Amino acid sequence: RKEVEQDPGPFNVPEGATVAFNCTYSNSASQSFFWYRQDCRKEPKLLMSVYSSGNEDGRFTAQLNRASQYISLLIRDSKLSDSATYLCVVISSNSGYALNFGKGTSLLVTP
Amino acid sequence: GAGVSQSPRYKVAKRGQDVALRCDPISGHVSLFWYQQALGQGPEFLTYFQNEAQLDKSGLPSDRFFAERPEGSVSTLKIQRTQQEDSAVYLCASSLAWGDRYNEQFFGPGTRLTVL
C-alpha cells in the first residue's frame, strides 16, 4: 500500500466550478504536507504547503486533518489554466526531506 | 536566474546498455535529489545528496543504479545494463539546504528514458 493515496480521477469540471481533491497518508509521524501541480510532460511545481490551521492562496484552500490523516485541496472558480495533475505530497519524519508523492489527481477544466 | 537543468531531455537505450543522466542544480543549492516517475504515477524518491555526500540511497531500485555528485554541484545518475522496467522520467530537484525547516525542492524538466 502506498504511503500517500489519492483518487486519480479524472475530474472533468466546467469553468467556474468548485472542485475538491482528497488525499490520505498512512504514516502518522509525517511532518510536512504539500500540494504540487504537474502539467502534462512538465516537472512538478509547489502549489502550496498545507497546515493544520488551514491555509488559503487566492482561489486555492488547503486543509490538513492530522487525526484522520487526511489532506484536502479546494479550488474555487476553476479556470481553464487549472487543468493539470495535482499531487499530494508528504514528508515523513524518518527522512525529513524525501518527498512522498501520491499518484496524482487529474483535473480537466472545460469551457 | 537559471533553474535546475537536466540532460539529455530524452534518451532511448537498447536493453542492456548503460546510460548516464546529468543534473545541474540551482547555483548555491546544497541539497540535491533524484526521483523516478513512471507513467501515470507520482515521482518516487531515489537518492539524496548534501553537497558531495550521498546521505540516502535507500530508494535506488537495484545495484544497477548509481549516483554521484563529486564536487557538490553537478550530479550524474548512472544506470547500468538497462531493463525495460527502467523506462521512466528521471527528475532531479535541488533545494537551498536541509535542516529543521523544509526548504522547497525545485525540479528540473526531467530526462525521459525509454528502454527498448
B28-65: per-residue pLDDT in tens?
999 999 999 999 999 999 999 999 999 999 999 999 99
A70-109: per-residue pLDDT in tens?
999 999 999 999 999 999 999 976 677 889 999 999 999 9
Residues of A in contact with B105 (CB under 8 A): 46, 99
Please, are residues B91 and A36 in contact by the beta-carbon 8 Å criterion? no
The pLDDT, as a whole number, for residue B2 is: 85
Cβ of A101 within 8 Å of Cβ of B44? The answer is yes
Is residue A26 very low, low, confident or very high in pLDDT (cuts 50, 70, 90)?
A: very high
Stretch A3-22: mean pLDDT: 94
Rounded to 5 degrees, φ, ψ at A50 are: -125, 130
Cβ of B42 within 8 Å of Cβ of A102? The answer is yes
Please, are residues A3 and A98 in contact by the beta-carbon 8 Å criterion? no
Residues of A in contact with B107 (CB under 8 A): 43-45
The pLDDT, as a whole number, for residue A93 is: 67
